[in-house]
Amino acid sequence: MTRSILIALSVVAVYTAGWFYLASIAKDRVRMELAKAAEQANSLECQSLSARGYPFSMYISCSGFNYRDQNQTLNAATSAVDVGASIFSFRTIKAQLTGPAAVALSGADPVKANWNKLQASARTDDRTAQDISLSAENLRLQSVKTDTDSKAPVLSLQEMQFDLNSLEEPLKLKITFDDLQLSGDTPLASLPEMDGLIDISSPASLASFKEADENGSVLRGKALQLNQVLFFLPSGASISLNGPVTIDDEGLTNADLKIRLTNMPALGQSLQAAFPDQVKNINTVIFALGSMPKDESGATIVPVLIKEGKISAGFIPLGRVPRL
């Protein structure tokens, strides 16, 4: 019995020593990557670097995290970041972020963010990250110019799930959200909470959308398939669309879309509440849509065609889409 206890204690001691040794290597690797980023004119700051998760996981933690890219176009900071993996699934990297956070993009107002829970995960291989996932609970985003800007637009949602197949492979993107609402100084604050689904694919990768052409566009020469874009209101009204969209090398849009509308009276009431000065026009549009085809469930189907930037709904011309 004594020998068994000694063997068990020895195994635990060796495992513990190995865990802390690997933790030390991991922290050194993080420091090296931070230094490498600094050499490339990016700025990453990880405050109070530490390792945790013993015995069956290993997470590298920063009590504060700041990032600024080399072109000064993106600045981000959050209270804490934990990144790591379980020893039972070491190729799946998980991260948890603690709010609040601040994000600033060049040419846009800064955004303050907070949440109850924000987690991300990705499966790694020898080439790139796969099966990228992000989930959030009670997320709140506020666009602000000053710390006292209490009427700035706020986007809040109860739950969100973001899934992406890869950064480098043909795009497969899916986003679902519950109880999305806009508040603050925006006409859309009068819209009710809504649930939604965005399902998009493309032969191009997400990484390719970061590479702007000589005209400053990231969309020219790209093709998207809107598998389903759905917004669902508490009244039972919904708006969904699907179909292919392409942007040619000149920035002209071509698309063949189908819009599906349910519970038109409730949808009209929601739009009238959000845009009271457009009540007459909204009523006219709702009346005109009444003559559009219906599917077997009674939903209104509106075919929308965009050809070289010219947009029409059925036989009604609606103008032009600006060059993208």
Number of H helices, E strands in the chain: 3, 18
CB 305 within 8 A of CB 318: no
User: Where do the domains of the chain lie?
Assistant: 212-324
| Cα 195 from Cα 174, distance rounded (Å) | 14
pLDDT reported for residue 71 = 65
Radius of gyration of the chain (CA): 25
User: Which has the closest alpha carbon to 231: 185, 275, 263, 257?
Assistant: 263
Tokens at residue 309, please?
């930037």
Query: Tens-digit pLDDT profile for the chain (324 aa)?
Result: 677 788 888 888 888 888 788 888 888 877 777 777 666 656 777 878 888 888 888 888 888 888 777 666 667 888 888 888 887 777 888 888 888 888 887 667 788 899 999 999 998 876 677 899 999 999 998 888 755 566 778 889 999 999 999 888 899 999 999 999 988 877 777 788 899 999 999 998 888 877 777 777 788 889 999 999 999 998 888 999 999 999 998 889 999 999 999 988 888 888 888 888 888 888 888 887 777 888 888 888 989 999 998 988 877 777 888 888
| Cα 23 from Cα 15, distance rounded (Å) | 12
CB 63 within 8 A of CB 80: yes
**In b/e form, how buried is each residue of 17-30, taking b as 16+ CB within 10 angstroms?**
eebeeebeebbeeb
pLDDT reported for residue 38 = 66
The pair phi, psi for residue 118, each rounded to 5°, is -140, 115
CB 83 within 8 A of CB 51: no
CB 289 within 8 A of CB 261: yes
CB 58 within 8 A of CB 85: yes
What is the pTM assigned to this prediction?
A: 0.83
| Cα 229 from Cα 196, distance rounded (Å) | 8
For 182-245, give the DSSP string: EESSSGGGGSPPEEEEEEEEESS-TGGGG---TTS-SSTT-EEEEEEEEEE-TTS-EEEEEEEE
| Cα 206 from Cα 218, distance rounded (Å) | 10
CB 102 within 8 A of CB 112: yes
pLDDT reported for residue 191 = 82
CB 175 within 8 A of CB 198: yes
The torsion defined by the Cα of 227, 230, 236 and 237, in degrees rounded to 10, comes to: -100
Q: Which residues pair with 61 in a beta bridge?
A: 50, 82
Alpha-carbon distances, residue 138 vs 111, 159, 178, 272, 293 (angstroms): 16, 6, 10, 28, 39
Helix axes 264-274, 279-289, angle to 10 degrees: 160
